Amino acid sequence: MKTITFITIVLISGALAGLVHGTVNFTIVEPYLDQAIGLENESLFASGEAENTLEFWAEYESYRIWQKSGQVLAGIILGLAMGSLFGIVFALSKNSLPGKTDISKSIILSGMMWLVLFIIPFLKYPANPPTVGETETVLLRTILYVSFMIISGIGFVIFYKISLKLKNNKKYFGILGYLGLLITAYVLMPENPDKITAPMNLVNEFRFVSILGVSSFWGSVGIILGLFWKKFIK
């Protein structure tokens, strides 16, 4: 494998998948962000922290235009980072992955990483719209989410390797061990420190479209990298 070829296809795959992710977010997530920020503005007006003036709305509109214009770019940057991680993991684990072709193996791995690094942490710490959460708890919430993601990721690698060494029905001990780790982490780790004050229909819809947005990345990166790998990596 040529290093320059590997780096090139990994970065391009990540950037393209990130472009898909950013575009999906811009299309289906942004409307819910508008709703949530609208509720946040109403709360600011009611509390007296901000005044409902033309100057406020001019500044707000300018900020949201800047924020929306950066949505796709942010997706690409995130795609480069996560795509690089995905490419490295794929290169290291390809021979042990199920599947008969590079494309199928890449898709299977992307599904695994989607489940382990996103869905499982999401069940403990689901995404919330901007109107939920205090500025003072941002760092704590980030630490909790990343910690759960690390536990899930490292635990999966360890128990997956254990299951590969076991034979026949004993392979299920690896799965049970991983589930036991997740249940323990789920019970012992603290809950989200912020109370949900926004309407639950908005929160649930925001969480749903957030899942669609992130899923679009993992689905795309698995297919794109698999196709590039098949064509350029010998």
Domain that holds residue 191: 133-195
pLDDT of 109 higher than 90: yes
Tell me the per-residue pLDDT of 7-20, one tens digit each, with 9 for 90 and over. 999 999 999 999 99
User: If you search the block for the tokens 């669609």, which residue do you land on?
Assistant: 212
Number of domains in the chain: 2
User: CA 215 to CA 233: how far, in whole Å?
Assistant: 26
Write down the pLDDT at residue 116: 96
Of the candidates 187, 188, 186, 164, the residue with the CA atom closest to the CA atom of residue 175: 164
Do 221 and 182 share a domain, yes or no?
no
Tell me the per-residue pLDDT of 80-106, one tens digit each, with 9 for 90 and over. 999 999 999 999 999 889 888 999 999
pLDDT of 23 higher than 90: yes
Instruction: Report percent pLDDT > 90 for the chain.
Output: 57
Tell me what the mean pLDDT of segment 168-190 comes to: 90
Q: What angle do CA 56, 60, 64 make, to 5 degrees?
A: 175
Do 158 and 71 share a domain, yes or no?
no
Tell me what the mean pLDDT of segment 48-62 comes to: 80
Do 106 and 220 share a domain, yes or no?
yes
Looking at per-residue pLDDT, the higher value among 130 and 180 belongs to: 180
Q: Residue type for 107, please?
A: I
Do 68 and 17 share a domain, yes or no?
yes
H or E element that contains 189? none
Alpha helices in the chain (DSSP H): 3-24, 30-47, 54-69, 71-93, 102-114, 120-124, 138-165, 172-188, 200-232
Write down the pLDDT at residue 56: 82
Do 114 and 213 share a domain, yes or no?
yes
- Residue 234: which pLDDT band, with cuts at 50, 70 and 90? low
Do 180 and 162 share a domain, yes or no?
yes
Do 102 and 59 share a domain, yes or no?
yes
Do 18 and 102 share a domain, yes or no?
yes
- Residue 63: which pLDDT band, with cuts at 50, 70 and 90? confident
Do 104 and 11 share a domain, yes or no?
yes
Do 36 and 19 share a domain, yes or no?
yes
Do 42 and 157 share a domain, yes or no?
no
CB atoms within 10 A of CB 164: 10
Do 81 and 47 share a domain, yes or no?
yes
What does pTM read for this prediction? 0.88
- Residue 151: which pLDDT band, with cuts at 50, 70 and 90? very high
Tell me what the mean pLDDT of segment 187-192 comes to: 93
